[in-house]
Structure formats: structure tokens, C-alpha cells
Amino acid sequence: MNREEKLEKIIAYLRSGEKDPADFRLGFEVEHFVVDKDTLESISYYGEEGVRASLKDLKELGYEALDDTGLALRGHGVDISIEPAGQFELAISAKASVEELYRLYEENMRKIVPVFEKRGQLLVTLGYHPRTKIDDIKVIPKARYDFMYKYFADFGGDMAHNMMKGTASMQFAVDYKDEEDFRRKYFLASALSPFIYSVFDNSYIFEGEIYYERNLRQTIWDNTDRMRTGLYDFSFDSDLTYKTYAERILETPMIFINKDGEDEYVGRKTLEDLMTEDNADALVDHALSIVFPDVRAKKYIEIRMADEVPFPYNMAGLALIKGVFFNEEIFDKVYDIFNEMDYDMATKLKYNAARMGIFALYENVELYQHVLDIIDLVRPVLSEFENRFLDELEALLDFGIVPRDIFAKIYKEDPKRAVYEFSVNKFVEGLDG
């Protein structure tokens, strides 16, 4: 295959994600640390009371293993997977409304939390691990994570292993109808990167110590791998196309590939180096998943900046994204607010926000005020149910605080209580209270 043929394979994949606006759906993924309720130390994947044992229990509740490893489960409208250091991820089937996503979240957490609760464990909703240092956390038994660990040690930034072992996020996915819609949504999602990092900042502890700056996860991702993380420089180009994105993917090192049913380390060999007629379809899918920019394209646009946050702020994030990206009139209004932003401006804003948080300035206005303005814009196109969650986020921002600040206040008084308050266990307990 020549270069143009390889590019066309990626372009065709992105084009296959186009949907009629009537069929647009909102995707949602959340990651959690599994910690001991008393010590706050990380629960290993291994051992009699490890994450592996909990996954076996979940299979008895109707979640079916997707392969022989047992590391990925599916059932009850969700996919369950385990991140490199045992982080527990829940991916909810894309839905048209926040209420539908919330119902699936609630129903599944009612099933899942007791499995961890009986072992004295919490599913923690923070952006960085609250106690255990990454050198004390084992990577789960999955060859691809061993390969990523090796690659980042050799070629990554100095915080790449912190990313793999110490971070947890929530991610949103939005659909696009055609290439121009893709460009506009990719631009706006990228322009919102500093705002989303800042408003959903929920990382107060770094390697067991208080982290005094802001947006820790942003800093970690920006120091993981310049080829595949952070903001892509083309994100703000007025001529951004599927081909633009495809060219970056084609040039990115693949780290590993699946060959004859087994993962194989390939290091810095690129997709262009490795793609053939026989493996093209499988490699394109893999290549689009082995990059981790703030905004990632697959057959949808994935918005990846937010720290994992507790209920109700997770649902507020969903409501905000739905309000901006699912109504054309509102989208145009928000797009116009940021249409002058370019890569240099966004990069500078991220840098400033890492020090000042929501008080960093964009066009002489604090980040939080811009988000409050956006909340005002989206409210008319959201349901009463969805707006209730925005009420919670708005109340925080009115006080000039974010989830991290709430956690910090409690943590200074009682670290154990702070971690419990920021857990799904607390959410489930409150459902019937």
C-alpha cells in the first residue's frame, strides 16, 4: 500500500462515524481508584481480595467476560474494563439524554459497589491516587500495558508512568454529521480544553503529598508523550479535515500491535511502517486508540480532559457537554465565543490555568465566568432533570471553587472522610437515604 492508500483507510474509518443528527448520542466513561477503606492504600489487581477477585464476583451478577483474560466485562448496558494499575472503568452505552445515562450509572453502581464494599474497599472518584505512590502499584497482567510502560520509559515524558498508574478521568463522546461538523466540533472541544481541565480539577494529592498548583492531570498528560498527548497543533486550523487527523495517526509510533492473536512490541515503528493490505482494518482501529490527545477522534469525538469527579458533578459535566454539542443554535453561539482561539493561545491558557485554575484569564475574563455564561446559554435546551445537575456546578463556580477545593477542605480535617465522601460508595449509600 502506498501512503495515500493508507491515509484513505483512516479517512474512511473516520467518515464511517458520520451520523444523522436525529441519531446523535452522548457517550460517557468514568474511571475509579480501588482503595482500602481504612488505609486508603491502592488495592492491587492481585491477591485474594484484589480487583481480579471482584471481577469474578461481577460475572455472577450477569456481567459477561469479553475474552479469556477476564479483564473486560459487558452487561446491563455497560462495559467494564481495568486500566493499567487496576483503575476500575465503567463505559456506559451512548444515549440521547443525561437521564438515560444517569439511570444506567445508578443501576450498575447499585450492583457493583457492594462487591467492593464487602471487601472493605472504596471506588474513589478523584483525578489522582489519594495515597499510594506509583512505584508501589503493580501493573495488571496485560502485555500491552507492559509494552506501554517500557515504551514510555524509553521514549516518553517524565510523567508518563504517573499517567498510567496514578490518574483517573471521566470522558465524554459526541457524534458528528459530516466532515465540516467534525472540524467545528473538534475545534470547539479543543478550545474548551483549559476550561474543562480547570472546572473539573479534582486532584489535590500527588504521590502522597499535597499538590499546591492546579490541573495536575493536565500537567501529567502534557508530560507523557508529545506525539500523542495534549492538544494537537492542527486542532484550530480552519482547514482541518479527516485527512489532517489521518496524517498525524499515520506518523505516530504504534508501541505494540496484535499479531496472530498476541500483542507484540513494535516500539517507534509507525502505522505507516506497519500497515499492509492484510492488517489495515485492525491496525487503523488500534492506531486511533493508542493516541491520547485532549480531544480524540474515532467514530465519534472524545473529550478527555475532565478529572474523575463524584456525583452530581459527573452528571453536570454530561449536561454541559450535551447542551453545547447537541443543539446547533447553542453550539454556534459558543463557537462564536472562542472562534479566535488558536493553538498558541490555548497552550498559553492551559499553562496559566495550571497555576491559577479557574481564575486564569481568557480575553480578560476568568475561566469560571466563561463557563457560567455557557451554562446560562445551554439551560433553555436542557430538561429540568439535566438542569438540576448544572445547578450544582453553577453553585460551585459562584463560590469560585471546583471539586478539588471541596476535597481539600475535608482532607485537611480528616483524610479518610474526604476519600469516602469522594467515592461511589457514598453515592450508593445516599440513594436510599
Residue 432 is predicted with a pLDDT of 82
Nearest CA-CA partner of 226 in 248, 206, 207, 246:
248
Q: How far apart are CA 373 and CA 363, in angstroms?
A: 14
State the 10-residue block means of pLDDT for the chain, 433 residues long.
97 98 98 98 97 97 93 97 97 97 98 98 98 97 96 97 98 98 98 98 98 98 96 97 98 95 95 96 96 98 98 98 98 97 98 98 98 98 98 98 98 98 98 82
Identify the CATH number of the domain defined by range 3-431: 3.30.590.20
The cell numbers describing 281, all together, are: 482494518
Residues ≥6 apart with Cβ < 8 Å to 340: none
The cell numbers describing 117, all together, are: 464494599
Residue in the structure block whose three cell numbers are 439511570: 103
Residues ≥6 apart with Cβ < 8 Å to 65: 59, 72, 73
**What are the C-alpha distances in Å from 232 to residues 28, 73, 245, 292, 336?**
22, 32, 9, 10, 21
Q: How far apart are CA 258 and CA 262, in angstroms?
A: 5
Q: How far apart are CA 370 and CA 361, in angstroms?
A: 10
What are the residue boundaries of the structural domains of the chain, listed by start? 3-431
**Do residues 195 and 367 touch, judged by C-beta distance below 8 A?**
yes
Residues ≥6 apart with Cβ < 8 Å to 308: 30, 31, 32, 125, 126, 127, 168, 169, 170, 202, 314
The cell numbers describing 246, all together, are: 489521518
The cell numbers describing 2, all together, are: 502506498
Nearest CA-CA partner of 215 in 294, 147, 137, 136:
294
Q: How far apart are CA 111 and CA 194, in angstroms?
A: 35
The cell numbers describing 279, all together, are: 492488517
DSSP codes, 268-310: EEEHHHH--TTTHHHHHHHHHHS-EESEEESSSEEE--PBP--
**What are the C-alpha distances in Å from 170 to residues 198, 328, 372?**
14, 24, 21
pTM of structure: 0.97
Backbone φ, ψ for residue 11 (5° rounding)? -60, -45
SS3 at position 256? strand
**What are the C-alpha distances in Å from 130 to residues 49, 120, 158, 252, 408?**
20, 16, 20, 33, 11
Residue 23 is predicted with a pLDDT of 98
Nearest CA-CA partner of 111 in 75, 81, 83:
75
Q: How far apart are CA 76 and CA 59, in angstroms?
A: 11
The cell numbers describing 316, all together, are: 453536570
DSSP codes, 138-178: PPPS-HHHHHHHHHHHHHS-TTHHHHHHHB-BEEEEE--SS
**Do residues 402 and 215 touch, judged by C-beta distance below 8 A?**
no
Radius of gyration in angstroms for the set of CA atoms belonging to the chain, rounded to a whole number = 21
Kind of pairing between the strands at 292-293 and 229-230: parallel
